[in-house]
Amino acid sequence: MGNRFVNSIAVAVVLVSTPLLHSQNAPQSAHDPHNLSGVWRATFRNLTISSETPALTPLGQKMFTANKPSYGPRAVPPALGNDPQGNCDPLGVPRLLFYGGTSAIEFLQAPDRIVEFFEWMHVWRTIWMDGRQLPRDPDPTWLGYSIGKWDGDTLVVDSVGFDEKTWVDHFGNPHSEEMRLQERYRRPDRDNLQLTLTLTDPKIYSKAWVSDTKTFRLEPKTELQDLTCVPSQEQAFNRRIRDLAAGKTQ
């Protein structure tokens, strides 16, 4: 809780005090491909990296079997599953990117970092843009450690250090702490933002998992809602609705 409070203060200071910060409300006379600021909502409905999942290693298969999602062909009633979302546990990335039309993402840019703020669960991640390198032996965290750089008009984000308790997507696809994720964001015009992802995790998947192109649409008049997942409310809902619907008793 202390670290979260300190991080909240740090982000607030950066976003308020940095004069060069891009704002979605700032007038833009022309499309700037290096300015991703604003609220974006996904136009896609596929809730995973791509429809073709690479073959799993034996460890990957074991972890996949142990995960019991409430979406897709292996879906079980939420009360009988073990989706981290059911306890309001952090979902991590890339899963937070797959909420489609149900939630939005806001980009806030400062000279040394980009903050990616997720409407669902009301969390953010920092993408460092100051030229630093990825840590060699990072402590695993829910959102990992991310650095970014511009490759022409494409923002390339490389991330490591993910806690393996999170799922890759809504369908229970797993990852290990050795997962590496690369995101490539490109703004081809004012209103569209394109994203491709490459997930590499040799402990879990037989080859890199590469996404199709996912498109987000700019919503210049949208303000993010406070869609916070509250554990006490979620647990009460489980007792009143999900558990009873699944025939589960206390």
Three-state secondary structure along 68-116? CCCCCCCCCCHHHCCCHHHHCCCCCCCHHHHCHHHCEEEEEEECCEEEE
CA distance 234 to 85: 9
Other residues' Cβ atoms within 10 Å of the Cβ of residue 63: 20
CA distance 172 to 165: 11
For position 250, what pLDDT does the model report? 58
Nearest 5 degrees, angle CA 236-CA 239-CA 242?
110
Domain boundaries, the chain: 35-245
Nearest 5 degrees, angle CA 181-CA 186-CA 192?
120
CATH 3.30.465.10 corresponds to the domain 35-245: no
Tens-digit pLDDT profile for residues 181-215: 999 999 999 999 999 999 999 999 999 999 999 99
For position 218, what pLDDT does the model report? 97
CA distance 153 to 193: 11
Q: Which of 84, 88, 144, 151 is nearest to 116 (CA)?
A: 144
For position 19, what pLDDT does the model report? 42
Question: pTM for the whole thing?
Answer: 0.83
Radius of gyration of the chain (CA): 19
